[in-house]
């Protein structure tokens, strides 16, 4: 299943992070649907019913758009079918946050959008999952390995404490190789910041029976967990790995539904690390939610290549336009308050909001 995600990029960064090649070979950045960039709020701890960035074919909104043109939209997590008759979508008596790939053709809620070609890609830094233990649950953050760099940068003291994921975790790149900007050398327009997780989904558009603004919502498609994740949970999101899989999933004109469903496979392409139980409460929304923890020690783990990569990205990719989802404050505004609250602030928070922190320049 997938019940919590993180997406910390600002709207313009999301656009650059999911750039794609047109059929003519040109790299393009998808534009936000008008007004939708303002509906999306970056978050370290995003739960169902919140708005998330979604990539889809522009033809869903404009029948004259080029067949290969993509657009970004903000959609609410938890699909509300177009045929729902109540005036309040919260009155739905069943959960549609996830839909099982095996049952898509058996349930009208998902079959109708699939037949209409309403396929989308949900974008996130990664997602959280909980492993059941004797008395509680241990949360993990799961994401694409950040593979910029060479094997020489691999480290032996990776913070991923599980032996099962050591092979995957070693691909995470050191912070000095991770840039939040587009490349200046090589091919123009190529994003070299955090590689966003691309999850297959279905969306629908519901309009209140009495009239009103249409509501776009989505459901994350899930499959059986891959070998390296099944020790955490038996299900995982259907991950689209690479531009070609994303293109085929979104191309509802040339790629028919049954062929698109073949893309929904369990893949050993994700890595993970344990995180603090802070993420258990969806009201907690801070960088600590993503920080790797050492399950064998009560002390804060020593920063290593992978954890430095994560923390460097959180620290260096926070432009002033990125507002806190709860307070509406920019990092600079929060920094002033943090100095007055340094006694109660956690170690990571002080690290990220310290006096020497410099905003990223473009």
Report which DSSP code applies to 356.
Answer: T
Nearest Cα residue to 110 out of 100, 123, 124? 100
Rounded-to-5 percentages of helix, strand, coil across the chain: 25, 25, 55
State the Cα–Cα distance between residues 270 and 265, nearest whole angstrom. 13
Long-range contacts of 296-302 (CB under 8 A, 24+ apart): 296/161, 300/347, 300/348, 301/159, 302/157
Nearest to 283 by CA among 327, 313, 333: 327
Q: How is 141-208 classified by DSSP, letter by letter? A: EEE-----S-GGG--SS-S---GGGHHHHTTPPPGGG--SSB-SSSSTT-B-S---EEEEEEEEEE--
From the list 129, 170, 245, 288, the catalytic residue is: 129
Q: For this structure, is 129 an active site residue?
A: yes
Known catalytic residue at 244 = no
Residues marked as catalytic? 2, 129
């Amino acid at each position: 299943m997938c019940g919590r995600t993180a997406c910390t990029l600002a709207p313009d960064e999301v656009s650059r992070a999911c750039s794609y090649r047109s059929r003519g070979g040109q790299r393009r950045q998808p534009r936000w649907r008008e007004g939708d960039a303002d509906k999306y709020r970056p978050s370290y701890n995003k739960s169902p019913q919140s708005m998330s960035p979604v990539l889809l074919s522009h033809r869903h909104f404009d029948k004259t758009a080029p067949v290969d043109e993509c657009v970004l939209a903000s959609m609410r997590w938890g699909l509300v079918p177009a045929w729902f008759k109540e005036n309040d979508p919260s009155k739905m008596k069943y959960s549609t946050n996830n839909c099982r790939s095996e049952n898509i053709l058996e349930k009208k809620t998902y079959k109708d959008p699939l037949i209409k070609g309403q396929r989308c890609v949900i974008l996130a830094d990664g997602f959280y999952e909980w492993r059941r233990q004797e008395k509680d649950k241990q949360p993990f953050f799961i994401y694409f390995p950040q593979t910029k760099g060479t094997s020489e940068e691999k480290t032996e003291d990776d913070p991923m404490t599980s032996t099962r994921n050591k092979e995957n975790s070693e691909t995470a790149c050191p912070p000095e190789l991770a840039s939040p900007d587009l490349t200046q050398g090589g091919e123009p327009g190529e994003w070299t910041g955090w590689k966003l997780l691309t999850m297959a989904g279905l969306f629908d558009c519901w309009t209140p029976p009495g009239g009103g603004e249409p509501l776009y919502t989505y459901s994350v498609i899930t499959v059986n967990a891959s070998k390296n994740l099944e020790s955490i949970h038996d299900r995982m999101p259907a991950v689209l790995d690479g531009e070609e899989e994303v293109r085929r999933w979104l191309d509802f004109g040339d790629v028919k539904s049954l062929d698109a469903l073949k893309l929904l496979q369990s893949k050993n392409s994700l890595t993970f690390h344990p995180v603090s139980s802070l993420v258990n409460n969806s009201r907690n929304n801070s960088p600590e939610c993503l920080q790797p923890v050492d399950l064998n020690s009560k002390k804060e783990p020593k920063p290593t290549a992978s954890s430095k990569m994560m923390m460097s990205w959180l620290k260096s990719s926070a432009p002033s336009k990125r507002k806190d989802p709860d307070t509406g404050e920019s990092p600079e505004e929060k920094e002033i308050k943090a100095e007055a609250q340094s006694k109660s602030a956690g170690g990571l928070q002080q690290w990220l909001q310290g006096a020497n922190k410099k905003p990223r320049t473009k």
